[in-house]
């Protein structure tokens, strides 16, 4: 079964019981923790907090940076993991690293073989058909030369992370120009994709624009 869990914040994974959606308990899983997106942001405190939380919960994780790797190296390094957790950060830099490393090919094969993909913010964006949503941020990230926003297309919709109600009207306007449906996620929500089934996890209403 193809399984993806796409979150707005990595805290969703450590603050909620997701064992029922995994083949075994989270604490029994081996996790490949992809931190590449954090390399091009000014504040990486969120990575430190996530590391600390996973350590406190006795989660078995190993950090990886996919930048400057090739497809063969990634296939070898990511073999044997139950979950690939792709952390947030600079979506443009992360997409650039995905393309240059062949991570998109590797992750497709891993998902087909039952590995769970978990994305957080930028890690969720790159699972979508496009990362156009990253251009709506006011954080002024370096776009790293990216002009084609086409992403891995693992799911048939787009995600807007870190949704708050005050942004709904502006998102509705942007959604009118999109080719795909847009699902807005607060930091207390996630989207579960299991084969063709799509389910909202967490608190609050489901917002699809």
Q: Quote the pLDDT of residue 67.
A: 97
Q: Quote the pLDDT of residue 139.
A: 83
Q: Quote the pLDDT of residue 38.
A: 96
What are the distances in angstroms from CA 44 to CA 4, 35, 37, 49, 88? 25, 10, 10, 9, 10
Q: Quote the pLDDT of residue 149.
A: 98
Q: Quote the pLDDT of residue 53.
A: 96
| Domain assignments of the chain as residue spans, ordered by start | 1-126+134-139
Q: Quote the pLDDT of residue 137.
A: 86
8 A C-beta contact, residue 175 and residue 151: no
Q: Quote the pLDDT of residue 138.
A: 83
Q: So what CATH class is 1-126+134-139?
A: alpha beta
Q: Quote the pLDDT of residue 186.
A: 96
Q: Tens-digit pLDDT profile for the chain (209 aa)? A: 899 999 999 999 999 999 999 999 999 999 999 999 999 999 999 999 999 999 999 999 999 999 999 999 999 999 999 999 999 999 999 999 999 999 999 999 999 999 999 999 999 999 999 999 999 988 889 999 999 999 999 999 999 999 999 999 999 999 998 999 999 999 999 999 999 999 999 999 999 99
Residue 132 CA to residue 150 CA, distance in Å, equals 8
Q: Quote the pLDDT of residue 140.
A: 83
Whether this model's pTM surpasses 0.75: yes
Q: Quote the pLDDT of residue 166.
A: 94
């Amino acid at each position: 079964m193809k399984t993806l869990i796409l979150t707005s914040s990595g805290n969703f994974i450590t603050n909620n019981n997701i064992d029922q959606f995994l083949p075994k308990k989270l604490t029994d899983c081996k996790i490949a923790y992809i931190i590449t997106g954090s390399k091009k942001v000014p504040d990486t405190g969120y990575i430190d907090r996530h590391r600390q939380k996973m350590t406190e919960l006795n989660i078995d994780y190993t950090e990886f940076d996919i930048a400057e790797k090739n497809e063969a190296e990634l296939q070898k390094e990511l073999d044997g993991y139950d979950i690939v957790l792709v952390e947030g950060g600079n979506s443009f830099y992360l997409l650039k690293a995905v393309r240059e490393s062949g991570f998109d090919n590797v992750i497709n094969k891993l998902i087909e073989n039952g590995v769970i993909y978990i994305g957080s913010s930028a890690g969720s964006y790159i699972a979508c058909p496009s990362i156009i949503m990253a251009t709506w941020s006011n954080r002024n990230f370096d776009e790293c030369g990216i002009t084609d926003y086409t992403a891995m297309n693992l799911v048939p919709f787009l995600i807007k992370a870190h949704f708050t109600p005050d942004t709904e009207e502006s998102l509705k306007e942007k959604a009118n120009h999109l080719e795909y449906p847009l699902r807005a996620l607060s930091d207390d929500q996630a989207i579960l994709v299991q084969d063709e089934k799509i389910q909202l996890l967490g608190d609050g209403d489901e917002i699809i624009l």
